[in-house]
């Protein structure tokens, strides 16, 4: 079964949250669902949809507590019922200057509260064009996972930055090749087999092809996860063989 995880980013208010809850009726066998929602909606989403989907956050502080105005700790996320949290999404890295070292500390903080990190990695367009994809991914993984506790669950999301919100995607062959590389690297460096999702402009119309086969374990979906029917459609088509 594929992992179909959504990332609402900074979208939706309580009206849309209520509508989403009302219409989210996935057949159990379609996918393992996860939805990363804005902080204020975690508790309600968890209460109402927690049996149908894992409810998570999009960011966490690296610190445990204290004078960090505006930050939210892993302990607080656990308190609200978050079961997973994105780490190092490219928007956090690019807009807020999040580094691999911060990601490493965030992974550690989340795992200490039994919240599953979803570590997001990916190259920019320039890095892709300069053929630096592998070296960028390697350092994001090497540092980001260096304090990970592999006795607890952790997932990787490969999201080429140039594919996020642009409507562009790598070819299926490129997705499979890059995710195979990520899996091989993690296996070599950390002796682990981790699930790796693909993210970047996944929609109902391309999910079947992008997620087909055994290499890609699922998808992290931004824009298309805001529309409940499209999100459920992605899960359904990801299940079908091509």
Looking at the annotation, which residues are catalytic?
Answer: 89, 159
Shortest distance in whole angstroms from residue 220 CB to ligand PEP: 5
Positive or negative, the Cα torsion across 219, 223, 228, 233? negative
Shortest distance in whole angstroms from residue 121 CB to ligand PEP: 12
Site string for ligand PEP, 188-227 (x = CB under 6 A): -----------xxxx-----------------xxxxx---
Which of 82, 220 has the CB closer to ligand PEP? 220
Shortest distance in whole angstroms from residue 202 CB to ligand PEP: 5
- The residue behind tokens 């700790």 is 73
> To 10 degrees, what angle do helices 42-49 and 14-23 make?
20
What is the size of the binding site for ligand PEP (CB under 6 A)?
Answer: 15
Which of 107, 202 has the CB closer to ligand PEP? 202
Which of 224, 232 has the CB closer to ligand PEP? 224
Shortest distance in whole angstroms from residue 86 CB to ligand PEP: 8
Shortest distance in whole angstroms from residue 151 CB to ligand PEP: 27
HEC secondary structure over the chain:
CCEEEEECCCCCCHHHHHHHHHHCCCCCCCCEEEEECCHHHHHHHHHHHCCCCEEEECCCCCCCCCCCCCCCCHHHHHHHCCCEEEECCHHHHHHHCCCHHHHHHHHHHHHHCCCEEEEEECCCHHHHHCCCHHHHHHHHHHHHCCCCCCCCCCEEEECCHHHCCCCCCCCHHHHHHHHHHHHHHHHHHHCCCCCEEEECCCCHHHHHHHCCCCCCCEEEECHHHCCHHHHHHHHHHHHCCC
List the one residue from 3, 4, 7, 145 that touches ligand PEP (CB under 6 A). 7
Chain residues 101-130 in contact with ligand PEP, contact rule CB under 6 A: none
Radius of gyration of the chain from its Cα atoms, rounded to whole angstroms:
17
Site string for ligand PEP, 62-101 (x = CB under 6 A): ---------------------------x------------
Decide if residue 159 touches ligand PEP (CB under 6 A): yes
Which of 75, 227 has the CB closer to ligand PEP? 227
Which of 151, 211 has the CB closer to ligand PEP? 211
User: Which positions lie near ligand PEP, rule CB under 6 A?
Assistant: 7, 9, 89, 159, 164-165, 199-202, 220-224
């Amino acid at each position: 079964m594929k992992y179909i995880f959504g990332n609402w980013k900074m979208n939706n208010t309580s009206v849309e949250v209520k509508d989403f809850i009302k219409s989210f009726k996935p057949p159990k066998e379609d996918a393992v669902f996860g939805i990363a929602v804005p902080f204020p909606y975690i508790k309600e989403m968890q209460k109402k949809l927690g049996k149908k989907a894992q409810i998570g956050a999009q960011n966490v502080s690296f610190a445990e507590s204290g004078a960090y105005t505006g930050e939210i700790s892993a302990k607080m996320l656990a308190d609200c019922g978050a079961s997973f949290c994105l780490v190092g999404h490219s928007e956090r890295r690019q807009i807020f200057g999040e580094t691999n070292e911060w990601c490493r500390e965030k992974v550690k903080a989340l795992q200490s509260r039994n919240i599953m990190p979803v570590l997001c990695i990916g190259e920019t367009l320039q890095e892709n064009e300069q053929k630096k994809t592998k070296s960028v991914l390697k350092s994001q993984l090497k540092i980001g996972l260096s304090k990970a506790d592999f006795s607890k669950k952790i997932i990787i999301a490969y999201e080429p930055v140039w594919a996020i919100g642009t409507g562009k995607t790598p070819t299926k062959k490129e997705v499979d090749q890059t995710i195979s590389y990520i899996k091989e690297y993690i296996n070599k460096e950390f002796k682990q087999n981790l699930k790796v999702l693909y993210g970047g402009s996944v929609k109902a119309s391309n999910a079947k092809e992008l997620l087909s086969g055994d290499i890609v374990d699922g998808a992290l979906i931004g824009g298309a996860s805001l529309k409940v029917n499209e999100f459920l459609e992605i899960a359904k088509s990801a299940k079908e063989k091509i």
